[in-house]
Amino acid sequence: MQIENFIDGKFTPPIDGNYLPNLNPANGELNSMIPDSSHDDVNSAVNAAKSAFSNWSKLTINERIDWLRQIADGLEQRKADIARLECEDTGKPISLAERVDAERSITNFSFFADHAKSIADLEFRMDDATNYVIRKPVGVVGLITPWNLPLYLLSWKIAPALVMGNTIIAKPSELTPSTANLLCEVLDSIDFPKGVINIVQGLGSTVGQAIVEHPEIRAISFTGGTETGKIVARTAAPMFKKLSLELGGKNATIILDDVDLASAAKGAARAAFTNSGQVCLCGSRILVADKIYHEFVDLLVEEVEAMKVGNPKHRDTDIGSVISIAHKDKIHSYIDLAKSEGGEILTGSEFTIPPPNANGAFVAPTLIANLNIDSRCAVEEIFGPVATIHRFTTDEEAIRMANITQYGLAGSIWTGDRARGVAVANQIDSGILWVNTWLHRDLRTPFGGVKNSGVGREGGDWSLNFFSELCNICVKDD
Ligand code: NAD
C-alpha cells in the first residue's frame, strides 16, 4: 500500500516523488510506503491552510462542533481499522490498541465538541467600564506527534485546534503514519471542508523542521522527546510562535509501607509495562519502603512474569514488540549497562518468539534492582519495558529520590492512607500525580510536565486557550 499526503482535501503524492518504508516492528514486514516529503510539500499545505482559514474561522462555534461530531462518528465506524493499523505500525497488542488508542482517538473529538460548548464568556466589570474577553483563532497551526500513541495524541491536538477555528498542518511520526491517513479517509468521506486539516508525512528533520520554521505557522504544539523539544524551542522561540511542548519523563512509582501489597504490585506492574513501557507517563523507577521491600518485590515479579509477551495480533498478548529493532537495541544497551554497574536482573531474561514474529523487536519486561538512584538507568528515559527498583526508609527520602531527575512529568503514590499519599504527591516536582491509581484521566484536567518534561498544559480549557488568542476589549460606560 502507498500512503499519500492529504493537502487541500486531496490525497497528494510528495512533490519530489520520494517515499520511505513503514515496517511492522513485530514481524519486519512492510506495512506501506509513505511520502518522504520536503519543504515544498509543507509550503503547499500552508497555502491550502491559509486559503481555508477565512471560511473555517468564520463558522460559528456550533458549526465547528458539529464537524467534530461528524469526525467522531466517522472514526467510530472505522474503530476496528484504527486498532489494527496501530497494532501493525507499533507492534502493540491489539487489545490495547482497541481499548486505549481507538477508544481515545474517537473520544478526543467528542470530548472537545462537548467541552467547547461549555466555554463561558469572560467579562470583568469596573466602576466605569466593562472588559469583554474574546477568543480569536491563532491562524495556521503546526501539530507534531510521536509514535507511541499515534492517533490518540494527534487527535488530542487536532480536535481543540479545529474547534477554536484554526487550520492545521499536522505531521505524525514517520514510524506510525497509518491512522493519520485513516483520519484523512474519514475527512474525505464526510466532505470535510478542504484545506482545514492537512497531513504531511515524512521525517522530523525535514517535514517537522519545515513546519516549525515556517513563518506563516503561528503556533506549534509538539509532543515528543526532550532533545527534539530543545530543537523545536530553539527554532520557534525567536519567531515568537505560541509553543506547547509535551516532552519526556522518568516517573516514580512510590510504594509506601502501609499499602495493600497485592493491589500496589498490580498497579506498579501496569504503570511500568503498559505499551511496553512506551508511554511518557510510565512509572519506570519503583521506590519501595524498606519495611515491605522483599514482600512487595516478590509480588511484583510474580505480576510481571504473568504478563504474556508475544504476537500482538493475539488477543491474550499483554506485551507486544517495541517500536523498532533500533529501539530494541537501545533498550538492550541500557540493560547491559545496568548489569555492568552491578544491577541485579530480577526478571526479564532473553527469550524467543515463534514465527511469524521470530525477528520482531521484542523485549521482555525487565525489573532491575541494586542500582544507585542516580545511575543512568534510573534517571534517563529508556522508554521501554525496563524498570529499576530502589529502597527508601522515610517519606522524605522517597520524595528526594523521586525529584532527582531532570524530568517532572508524572508519578504515582500507593498507600493505605490517602492524606499521606496526597502530602507526598504535593512535594513531587511533576505535573501529574496519582494516588492509588495510574493513568486515570479526566480530559478536563491540565496535562503537562515541569522541568525538562515540557512547557505549557494541554487538556480541557488549557487546550482551548492554547489554540486561541485571548483579546480584551474594554468599553467605557456612557
Ligand atoms: P521524537 O522527539 O523523536 O519525535 C517526535 C516527533 O517529532 C516525530 O513526529 C518526529 O518526526 C518529529 N521530529 C523529529 N525531529 C524534529 C525536528 N527537528 N523538528 C520538528 N519535528 C521533529 O520522539 P519519539 O521518539 O517519536 O517519541 C518518544 C518521546 O515522546 C519520548 O521521549 C516520550 O516521553 C515523548 N512523549 C511525551 C508525551 C507527553 O505528553 N509528554 C507523550 C508521548 C510521548
Tens of pLDDT, residue by residue over 316-327, are 999 999 999 999
Please check whether residue 448 lies inside any domain of the structure.
no
Claim to verify: residue 276 and residue 158 sit in the same structural domain: no
Claim to verify: residue 215 and residue 266 sit in the same structural domain: no
Cα 352 to Cα 278, 286, 349, 355: the distances in Å are: 21, 27, 10, 10
Q: What pLDDT is stored for residue 401 in this prediction?
A: 98
Model confidence at 308: pLDDT above 80: yes
Please check whether residue 160 lies inside any domain of the structure.
yes
Claim to verify: residue 308 and residue 372 sit in the same structural domain: yes
Instruction: Point out the catalytic residue in the list 87, 280, 282, 377.
Output: 280
Q: From the alpha carbon of 173, which atom of ligand 1 is closest?
A: 9
The Cβ of residue 77 has, within 10 Å, a number of other Cβ atoms equal to 11
Cα 285 to Cα 249, 269, 416: the distances in Å are: 11, 11, 20
Ligand 1 probe mutation, 157, 228, 235, 386, most atoms within 8 A of CB:
228
CB 277 within 8 A of CB 255: no
Report how far residue 447's alpha carbon sits from residue 169's, in angstroms, rounded to the nearest whole number: 23
> What are 320's three cell numbers?
507486544
Please check whether residue 317 lies inside any domain of the structure.
yes
Q: By percentage, how much of the chain surpasses pLDDT 70?
A: 100
Claim to verify: residue 243 and residue 263 sit in the same structural domain: no
Q: From the alpha carbon of 203, which atom of ligand 1 is closest?
A: 11
Claim to verify: residue 153 and residue 298 sit in the same structural domain: no
**What is the per-residue pLDDT across 104-161, written as a single tens digit (0 to 9) for each?**
999 999 999 999 999 988 999 999 999 999 999 999 999 999 999 999 999 999 999 9
Please check whether residue 241 lies inside any domain of the structure.
yes
Claim to verify: residue 398 and residue 460 sit in the same structural domain: no
Please check whether residue 203 lies inside any domain of the structure.
yes
Q: Is 469 annotated as catalytic?
A: no
CB 215 within 8 A of CB 239: yes
CB 395 within 8 A of CB 420: yes
Q: Is 4 annotated as catalytic?
A: no
Q: CA nearest 231: which of 308, 153, 144?
A: 144
Q: What pLDDT is stored for residue 298 in this prediction?
A: 98
> Taking residues 393-410, what's their average pLDDT?
98
Claim to verify: residue 369 and residue 422 sit in the same structural domain: yes
Q: Report the CATH number at residue 263.
A: 3.40.309.10
**Number of domains forming the structure of the chain:** 2
Please check whether residue 295 lies inside any domain of the structure.
yes
Task: Give me ligand 1 centre to Cα 322, in Å.
Answer: 15
The Cβ of residue 224 has, within 10 Å, a number of other Cβ atoms equal to 23
Claim to verify: residue 284 and residue 339 sit in the same structural domain: yes
Mean pLDDT of the chain: 98
Report whether the peptide linkage leading into residue 356 is cis, meaning its omega lies within 30 degrees of zero: yes
Model confidence at 445: pLDDT above 90: yes
Ligand 1, residues at Cβ distance < 6 Å? 144-148, 153, 171, 173-174, 203-205, 208-209, 212, 223-225, 228, 231-232, 246-249, 280, 381, 383, 409, 449, 454
Model confidence at 359: pLDDT above 80: yes
pLDDT band at 350 (very low <50, low <70, confident <90, very high): confident
Note down the domain range covering 16. 5-247+453-476
Claim to verify: residue 110 and residue 43 sit in the same structural domain: yes
Please check whether residue 425 lies inside any domain of the structure.
yes
Report how far residue 282's alpha carbon sits from residue 149's, in angstroms, rounded to the nearest whole number: 13
Q: From the alpha carbon of 226, which atom of ligand 1 is closest?
A: 32
**52 backbone φψ class: left, alpha, beta (φ>0; ψ -120 to 50):** alpha
Task: Give me ligand 1 centre to Cα 152, in Å.
Answer: 14
Q: What pLDDT is stored for residue 127 in this prediction?
A: 98
Q: How far apart are the first and last CA of the chain?
A: 67
Instruction: Point out the catalytic residue in the list 174, 246, 381, 458.
Output: 246
Q: What pLDDT is stored for residue 121 in this prediction?
A: 87
Task: Give me ligand 1 centre to Cα 302, in Å.
Answer: 33
Cα 171 to Cα 22, 52, 138, 202, 436: the distances in Å are: 15, 18, 18, 7, 36
Task: Give me ligand 1 centre to Cα 127, in Å.
Answer: 49
pLDDT band at 349 (very low <50, low <70, confident <90, very high): confident
Q: Report the CATH number at residue 202.
A: 3.40.605.10
Ligand 1 probe mutation, 36, 108, 173, 447, most atoms within 8 A of CB:
173
Claim to verify: residue 201 and residue 284 sit in the same structural domain: no
> What are 259's three cell numbers?
499499602
pLDDT band at 300 (very low <50, low <70, confident <90, very high): very high
Claim to verify: residue 68 and residue 149 sit in the same structural domain: yes
**What is the per-residue pLDDT across 53-101, written as a single tens digit (0 to 9) for each?**
999 999 999 999 999 999 999 999 999 999 999 999 999 999 999 999 9
Q: What pLDDT is stored for residue 351 in this prediction?
A: 79
Return phi, psi of residue 157, to 5°. -100, -40
Q: What pLDDT is stored for residue 352 in this prediction?
A: 87
Task: Give me ligand 1 centre to Cα 240, in Å.
Answer: 21
Claim to verify: residue 208 and residue 260 sit in the same structural domain: no
